[in-house]
């Protein structure tokens, strides 16, 4: 029998989460009970022995023997007291290669999508053809028939194939999937896009929420799939599950800010390290020079897990201090305050779910309910997140009871999705001042923040999804200004279908420059790592085995190198990078490829 799966460790994350919540202890045992991959002495002992440079490696390894034998063998070597040597040989004997239950899913090779013919530049066109075909290398399914009877894995069954981001990520992730689906739809791989959405819908349907949740974009995924395919029956089939996910966020993450207003936060409770980052989290929480008591340690583990839920793991958005000390990156992670921040991006996404579901429901009761929720949220965003002096949205800081006045592209999400309070419409001409400033400071793609913290969601890293979101925001605002919009109710959910871009407007030029910088960054870093195109582009040097990497993030200080920092080494593959590249050329087909080895720039 064949089972497809995603990994139980997501589940573990969420389950342990609930475990310290006194009222909700039960859901921990019902959703995460693997003594190997979730919590317990075996996980702790193996992870703290640091057998692998990356903690994720171990939780990705299925067992070679049935669960009971593995646990007995662990006891036999002395359990938590086992010597380092015996742990090494225990893992070697009882665990298989990471991801060994994963098999390539075969996607038929097809012609390049037709719209690529409109891409003017032959080198970019050749490169994009390659990217549109690369999904086939990233498509997988789980084949648990490779496991012995009784053997276990952190993979959980999903019924359909999926596209992984690449690199260390041997499973699919929630918000990555939105940008992957963008790329799949533009590559005419509609079925694979649908498979991925259905896998996610199945999780919500089964568990009531997305395990290892991230920025909630499932409704947006259904939206763009239905827009591309016209498959409205899929929309109606998804609707009850989208309702369910919304209810989860509302029930579990709402913060009442005053009598009238409430908003949501990333909020995962966790009493122990994340399984896939066990030794990293453990080290952060157990610094001998700064001992924490149990309450403080649980709070830190919860802030770490909530940071992972935000998709921005980690960033100065969530830390009280903005600098590391003693060159030790853990010092800043100890200052995480994720659960006390009301994130503007999360609330804009929840508004979009409310707004979209109010459109999709036809029953008056549901329709009115979601309309009411959306208008309540917009009022709260107006009160707490919009800043009329700065013409910008900021996160709200519960600890300091004020906004964090710091530029990050998270403030662009309301303009992407349309959650803009009436009084902010007056500011539309100024809402990209911070973006323009940041694009003047650095020659590459848009930065993630203004702080150098060595964390990966900070300067000098720029991330593909944030370029997409900002460009979409710019194009929307351009449209709203030219059509004299005064309120959010004028914005229709399917606006993107009909955007009539005035190619000469200043804002569209700004979006275009962002597109040019993104294309050059991802293309030149691919070229610099050995990328070539037969008959079009020679390989830079012959002394490399590599044939071109697409990176997950980029350095904004130039156009041609990957980003760095954070808790793991930079990843190649890469799902959302490719998806955003395809979208940019579908929008701006006349961008020209630079000569990567000479100097070039795209000034704002
Ligand atoms: C490990 O050693 C400690 C101290 O000697 C002992 O109390 C504990 O029971 C041992 N644990 C196991 C699993 O043998
Ligand atoms: C969400 O909250 C409900 C109600 O308090 C609780 O039963 C449930 O376990 C929570 N779910 C998660 C995943 O925390
Ligand atoms: C832990 O330390 C905090 C101060 O940082 C203190 O308020 C709290 O009471 C302590 N908790 C326990 C259980 O000792
Ligand atoms: C939030 O406010 C507190 C108190 O003013 C401050 O120390 C902290 O730096 C602010 N930012 C974050 C992310 O916690
Ligand atoms: C960022 O800060 C770190 C540590 O303080 C420093 O080593 C590094 O050079 C800085 N990065 C840049 C790009 O300036
Ligand atoms: C939104 O603006 C339009 C055009 O100015 C106006 O007709 C409409 O009544 C406004 N709607 C709301 C809810 O303010
Ligand atoms: C790119 O620029 C380099 C350095 O300026 C030059 O040697 C090379 O010929 C250029 N390549 C092309 C294809 O123009």
Residue identifier of the C-alpha nearest atom 7 of ligand 1:
81
Whether 313 sits among the annotated catalytic residues: the reply is yes
Looking at the CA of residue 251, tell me the nearest atom of ligand 2: 2
Residue identifier of the C-alpha nearest atom 2 of ligand 4:
400
The confidence score (pLDDT) of residue 142 equals 84
Could you tell me if 328 and 353 lie in one domain? no
Could you tell me if 212 and 235 lie in one domain? yes
Place of tokens 């964390």: 455
CA of 454 relative to ligand 5 center, distance in Å: 7
Could you tell me if 475 and 392 lie in one domain? no
Looking at the CA of residue 14, tell me the nearest atom of ligand 2: 13
Q: For a substitution probing ligand 4, which of 398, 400, 453 has the most ligand atoms within 8 Å of its CB?
A: 400
The confidence score (pLDDT) of residue 344 equals 98
Could you tell me if 305 and 406 lie in one domain? no
The confidence score (pLDDT) of residue 495 equals 55
The confidence score (pLDDT) of residue 9 equals 30
Q: For a substitution probing ligand 3, which of 20, 285, 294, 295 has the most ligand atoms within 8 Å of its CB?
A: 295
| Average predicted confidence (pLDDT) for the chain | 90
Could you tell me if 336 and 347 lie in one domain? no
- Give the separation between CA 138 and CA 576, rounded to whole angstroms: 12
Instruction: Please check whether residue 56 lies inside any domain of the structure.
Output: no
| Marked catalytic residue, from 141, 171, 313, 345 | 313
Mark the ranges of the chain whose per-residue pLDDT is less than 70.
Answer: 1-32, 493-502, 542-544, 567-570, 572
Q: Tell me which of 359, 393, 423 is where a domain ends.
A: 423
Q: Is the pTM of this model over 0.85?
A: yes
The confidence score (pLDDT) of residue 4 equals 30
Could you tell me if 439 and 564 lie in one domain? yes
The confidence score (pLDDT) of residue 544 equals 67
Could you tell me if 497 and 574 lie in one domain? yes
Residue identifier of the C-alpha nearest atom 12 of ligand 5:
452
Instruction: Please check whether residue 67 lies inside any domain of the structure.
Output: no
Question: 569: domain range?
Answer: 432-604
Q: For a substitution probing ligand 7, which of 539, 597, 599 has the most ligand atoms within 8 Å of its CB?
A: 597
Instruction: Please check whether residue 262 lies inside any domain of the structure.
Output: no
- Give the separation between CA 235 and CA 80, rounded to whole angstroms: 50
Could you tell me if 28 and 161 lie in one domain? yes
Pocket residues for ligand 5 (CB within 6 Å)?
Answer: 452, 454, 460
Could you tell me if 352 and 334 lie in one domain? no
- Measured in degrees and rounded to the nearest 5, phi and psi for residue 476 equal -60, -50
Instruction: Please check whether residue 91 lies inside any domain of the structure.
Output: no
For the segment 475-502, what is each residue's pLDDT rounded down to a tens digit? 999 999 998 999 988 887 655 555 666 6
Number of domains in the chain: 4
Instruction: Please check whether residue 408 lies inside any domain of the structure.
Output: yes
Residue 80: burial class (beta carbons within 10 Å; 0-12, 13-18, 19+): exposed
The confidence score (pLDDT) of residue 167 equals 75
- Nearest one of 545, 601, 535, 576 to 127, comparing CA atoms: 535
Could you tell me if 519 and 456 lie in one domain? yes
> What is each CA distance from 511 to 116, 272, 588, in whole angstroms?
20, 43, 9
For the segment 102-130, what is each residue's pLDDT rounded down to a tens digit? 889 999 999 999 999 999 999 999 999 99
CB 216 within 8 A of CB 353: yes
For the segment 194-244, what is each residue's pLDDT rounded down to a tens digit? 999 999 999 999 988 887 889 999 999 999 999 999 999 999 999 999 999
Instruction: Please check whether residue 297 lies inside any domain of the structure.
Output: yes
Q: Tell me which of 299, 319, 340 is where a domain ends.
A: 340
The confidence score (pLDDT) of residue 500 equals 63
Instruction: Please check whether residue 222 lies inside any domain of the structure.
Output: yes
The confidence score (pLDDT) of residue 8 equals 30
Could you tell me if 134 and 239 lie in one domain? yes
The confidence score (pLDDT) of residue 17 equals 26
CB 417 within 8 A of CB 349: yes
CB 400 less than 6 A from any atom of ligand 4:
yes
Q: Tell me which of 340, 358, 379 is where a domain ends.
A: 340
> What is each CA distance from 60 to 99, 101, 102, 169, in whole angstroms?
6, 10, 10, 10
What percent of the chain is modeled with pLDDT above 90? 79
Whether 502 sits among the annotated catalytic residues: the reply is no
Could you tell me if 118 and 245 lie in one domain? yes
The confidence score (pLDDT) of residue 565 equals 72
Instruction: Please check whether residue 282 lies inside any domain of the structure.
Output: yes
């Amino acid at each position: 029998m064949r089972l497809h799966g995603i990994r139980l460790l997501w589940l573990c994350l969420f389950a342990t989460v609930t475990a310290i919540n006194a009222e909700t202890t039960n859901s921990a045992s019902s959703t995460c009970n693997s003594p190997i991959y979730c919590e317990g002495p075996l996980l702790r002992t193996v992870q703290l022995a640091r057998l692998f440079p990356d903690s994720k490696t171990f939780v990705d390894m299925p067992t070679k023997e049935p669960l009971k034998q593995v646990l007995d063998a662990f006891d036999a070597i002395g359990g938590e007291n086992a010597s380092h040597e015996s742990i090494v040989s225990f893992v070697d004997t009882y665990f298989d290669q990471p991801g060994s239950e994963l098999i390539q899913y075969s996607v038929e090779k097809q012609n390049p999508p037709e719209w690529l013919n409109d891409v003017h530049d032959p080198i970019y066109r050749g490169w994009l053809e390659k990217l549109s075909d690369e999904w086939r290398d990233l498509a997988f399914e789980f084949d648990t028939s490779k496991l012995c009877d009784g053997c276990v894995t952190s993979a959980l069954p999903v019924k359909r194939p999926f596209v992984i981001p690449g690199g260390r990520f041997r499973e699919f992730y929630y918000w990555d999937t939105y940008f992957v689906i963008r790329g799949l739809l533009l590559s005419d791989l509609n079925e694979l896009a649908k498979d991925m959405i259905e896998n996610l819908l199945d999780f919500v349907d089964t568990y009531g929420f997305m395990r290892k949740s991230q920025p909630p974009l499932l409704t947006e995924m259904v939206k763009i799939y239905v827009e591309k395919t016209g498959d409205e029956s899929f929309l109606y089939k998804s609707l009850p599950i989208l309702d369910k996910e919304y209810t989860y966020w509302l029930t579990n993450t709402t913060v009442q800010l005053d009598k009238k207003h409430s908003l949501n936060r990333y909020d995962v409770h966790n009493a122990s390290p994340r399984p896939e980052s066990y030794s990293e989290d453990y080290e952060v929480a157990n610094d001998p020079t700064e001992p924490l008591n149990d309450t403080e340690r649980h709070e830190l583990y919860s802030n770490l897990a909530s940071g992972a839920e935000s998709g921005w793991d980690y960033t100065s958005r969530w830390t009280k201090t903005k600098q590391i000390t003693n060159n030790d990156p853990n010092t800043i992670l100890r200052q995480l305050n994720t659960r006390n921040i009301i994130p503007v991006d999360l609330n804009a996404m929840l508004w979009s779910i409310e707004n979209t579901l109010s459109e999709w429901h036809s029953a008056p009761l549901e329709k009115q309910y979601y309309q009411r929720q959306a208008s309540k949220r917009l009022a709260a965003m107006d009160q707490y997140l919009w800043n009329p002096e700065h013409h910008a949205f900021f996160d709200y800081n519960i600890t300091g009871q004020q906004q964090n006045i710091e530029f990050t592209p998270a403030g662009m999400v309301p303009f992407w999705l349309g959650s803009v309070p009436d009084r902010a419409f007056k500011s539309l001409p100024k809402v990209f001042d911070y973006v323009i400033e940041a694009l003047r400071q650095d020659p590459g793609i848009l930065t993630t923040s203004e702080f150098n913290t060595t964390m990966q969601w900070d300067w000098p890293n720029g991330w593909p999804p944030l370029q997409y979101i900002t460009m979409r925001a710019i194009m929307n605002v351009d449209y709203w200004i030219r059509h004299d919009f005064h309120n959010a109710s004028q914005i229709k959910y399917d606006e993107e279908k009909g955007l009539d871009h005035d190619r000469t407007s200043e804002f569209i030029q700004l979006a275009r420059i962002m597109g040019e910088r993104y294309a050059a960054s991802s293309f030149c870093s691919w070229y610099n790592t050995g990328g070539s195109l037969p008959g079009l582009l020679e390989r830079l040097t012959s002394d490399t085995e590599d044939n071109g990497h697409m990176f997950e993030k980029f350095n904004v200080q130039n156009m041609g190198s990957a980003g760095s920092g954070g808790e793991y080494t930079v990843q190649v593959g890469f799902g959302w990078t490719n998806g955003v590249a395809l979208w940019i050329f579908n929008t701006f087909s006349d961008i020209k490829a630079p000569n990567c080895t000479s100097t070039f720039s795209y000034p704002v």
